[in-house]
Amino acid sequence: MERFAGLLDALVYTRSRNAKLKLVADYLRDTRDPDRGWALAALTEALDFPAVKPSTVRALLMERVDPVLFQLSREYVGDTAETASLLWPDPPAFGTPPTVAEAVDTLTHMTRLNAMVELAGLLDRLDAAGRFALLKMATGAMRIGISARLAKLAFAQAFAVSIDDVEEYWHGQMPPYRALFAWAADGAAPPVAEHVPHFRPFMLAQPFDGMEITMAEFAAEWKWDGIRVQIVHVASEVGGETRLYSRSGDDISKAFPEIVNAMRLPCVLDGELMVRGNHQGGAEGGAASFNALQQRLGRKTVSARMLADYPAFVRLYDMLSNGADDLRPLRWEQRRLALESLVPRLDPARFDISELIPVATLAELAAFRERARDDEIEGVMLKRRDSAYLAGRRAGLWYKWKRDPLLVDCVLMYAQRGSGKRSSFYSDFTFGCWTDDPDRGGELLPVGKAYFGFSDEELKWLDSYVRRHTVNRFGPVRETDRSLVLEIAFDSVHVSKRHKSGVAMRFPRIHRIRTDKPANEADLIATLRSMIRDAPL
């Protein structure tokens, strides 16, 4: 338990993703079974101990600490498990601390009746860091930023196995994942995962930079603006199971039950998850803006109201398997035929196919791409007709050709320090546009925030500019003298009730620093508003 507690603490204080990966990988490599498997399950919040609730921990503490002092401490520390770990009196002498496996075993067998006594018994054998780890594990609220995908990457890194294999074998394995460790660490045969709807890594596209290509070798389709998903259904004697995965490989099935429930055929499909509407591509396009989809993202459960107001569907791009047949080695055009013959058998309310754009030359495609703005579509895709479905971003096979961004001139208003490597730089910029002509009393209102788009050299310059032009400080934020014009690039702009300016930009980034332009010549909010294409949902 001490090593696990040490890992937890290190993860709390580490912000970089690579450093987190290394910490978890080192732990998995250097710790024995079954502790490492249980620890992995705890980190990904895959454990549940119904007998232990935060209220159990509070009640336990109240028996030993004055309630007023507990409350004052809890308010200061801001976390019940941490407060309890610090307040719990050290025993006169520590016995042998429990292993992670022993702690899991004890927690699993606890009942509401004996939880207080059993938990106290474990706490008495641990120091403050160990108590924190135990209580976090017991109450299942790690909040330490280790997603299932990150844990798998760390696992792959620890044992130098391929992440694709880890994805294939992981699902259906239960903590403490002995068979997985035996395979990755000791070279045993991989665990077989039949009847499990596991994730396959996505094939990704490179940006298209206008190079010469022979259009006959490529198929073109619209680049829809939702989130890329994979839907997997496997059949079994008990009726089968469907899961929906995000691009990062995280299971988002619970947030989109209407999609999961609508899939009844054993297959693996790749597509764009969107909400019904007539924003992208008009009534014919059938998809609402990304803004509408955002209402549905990041939720663990979804209300009936949400389902009715923002109905989701998947626009299908590709087919990775058909029943037990893996189609990934096939050519794109063969997979496309399989997909076209599958789609009529699916619920049309939840699934449709991404239509191909009928073009013979790149020039024709360029013309279509120009239209993308009017249709509020992100751009176009190019896929080599003979390409197999390969994980990751492979050169020369798939291209994304986004339409040119919209541009607007804004005035820098506030700057905030970044985090990690950028923690000493003012690197998050809030900028505004004028409510009216500044010479007629117009004011600046914030319209957006950007923290990329600039080079390292430009960042240094911006940081220094902010420091020299500060007029006010609010904690980590500096207000500047509103003298610098930034040309902001963005993909689209939407009506927003949350912002005083009434608009919200999608994907804003700093395109150019316009030292040549005086602040009073920056754009009006009305200019931004005129770029809004939101149609009613």
Partner 1 sequence: MVKDFSWLRAEPHGIYIVPASCWIDPAQPVDSALITHGHADHARGGHGTVMATPATLAIMALRYGDQALARTIEYGERLRLPGGVDATFLPAGHVLGSAQILLEHAGERILVTGDYKRRRDPTCPPFTAVPCDILVTEATFALPVFRHPPVEHEIARLIDARAANPNRCLLLGAYALGKAQRIIAELRLAGYSDPIWLHGALERMCRLYEAFGASLGELRLVSEARKDDLAGQIVLCPPGSLNDRWSRRLPDPLTAMASGWMRVRQRARQRNVELPLIISDHADWDELTGTIDEIDPVETWITHGREDALIRWCALHGRRARALALAGYDDEDD
Q: Which stretch binds partner 1 (CB under 8 A): 13-21, 40-48, 183-191, 219-227?
A: 13-21
Among 301, 424, 455, 530, binds partner 1 (CB under 8 A): 424
- H-helix segments, 216-331: 257-262, 282-285, 290-294, 304-309
Q: How far is CA 243 from CA 35, 131, 313, in A?
A: 29, 36, 14
Binding of residue 69 to partner 1 (CB under 8 A):
yes
- Structure tokens of 26? 């080192």
What is the C-alpha separation between 364 and 377, in angstroms, rounded? Answer: 17
- Exactly one of 18, 63, 76, 358 binds partner 1 (CB under 8 A); which one? 76
Q: Which is nearer to partner 1, 68 or 160 (CB)?
A: 68
474 is a site residue for partner 1 (CB under 8 A): no
CB closer to partner 1 out of 392 and 420: 420
The two tokens of residue 492 are 């689209």
Query: Is 309 an interacting residue with respect to partner 1 (CB under 8 A)?
Result: no
Residue 434 pairs with which residues in a beta bridge? Answer: 444, 524
DSSP string, 21-65: HHHHHHHHHHS-TTHHHHHHHHHTT----TT--HHHHHHHHHTTS
Binding-site string for partner 1 from residue 444 to residue 473, where x marks contact by CB under 8 A and - marks none? -------------------x----------
Question: Rule CB under 8 A: is residue 419 a binding residue for partner 1?
Answer: yes
Q: Is 15 in the site for partner 1 (CB under 8 A)?
A: yes
Q: Of 3, 22, 29, 65, which lies in the binding site for partner 1, with binding defined by CB under 8 A?
A: 65
The answer for residues whose C-beta is within 8 angstroms of residue 337's C-beta and 6 or more apart is none
Binding region for partner 1 (CB under 8 A) out of 6-14, 44-52, 265-273, 312-320: 6-14
Among 417, 449, 509, 512, binds partner 1 (CB under 8 A): 417
Output the six-digit token pair for 139.
Answer: 């109450």
| 73 interacts with partner 1 by CB under 8 A | yes
CB of 354 to partner 1, least distance (A): 43
Q: Which stretch binds partner 1 (CB under 8 A): 33-41, 82-90, 223-231, 301-309?
A: 82-90
Cβ at position 77, least distance to partner 1 in Å? 5
Burial tier of 315 (Cβ tally within 10 Å: 0-12, 13-18, 19+): buried
Sheet containing 206-207, strands listed edge to edge, beginning at the edge strand earlier in sequence: 206-207, 398-402, 379-384, 218-223
Single residue of 18, 63, 68, 298 touching partner 1 by CB under 8 A:
68
* Residue from the set 26, 45, 79, 221 that interacts with partner 1 by CB under 8 A: 79
Token readout for 493 is 């702009």
The H-assigned helical ranges of 160-281 are 163-170, 178-186, 257-262
Contact 492, 376 (CB under 8 A): yes
423 binds partner 1 (CB under 8 A): yes
Asked if 13 is part of the footprint of partner 1 (rule: CB under 8 A), the reply reads yes
User: With CB under 8 A as the contact rule, which of the stretches 8-16, 27-35, 163-171, 492-500 interacts with partner 1?
Assistant: 8-16
Question: Which of 340, 481, 494 lies closest to 406 in space, CA to CA?
Answer: 494
List, as one string, the DSSP characters of 337-386: HHHHHHGGGS-TTTEEE-PBP--SSHHHHHHHHHHHHHTT--EEEEEETT
- Stretch of 78-86, 161-169, 175-183, 184-192 lying at the interface with partner 1 (CB under 8 A): 78-86
* CA-to-CA dists, residue 380 to 129, 359, 392, angstroms: 52, 12, 19
CB of 29 to partner 1, least distance (A): 16
Question: How big is the site for partner 1, counted in residues (CB under 8 A)?
Answer: 24
The reply on whether position 87 binds partner 1 by CB under 8 A is yes
> Which chain residues interact with partner 1 by CB under 8 A?
9, 12-15, 65-66, 68-69, 72-73, 76-79, 82-83, 86-87, 417, 419, 423-424, 463
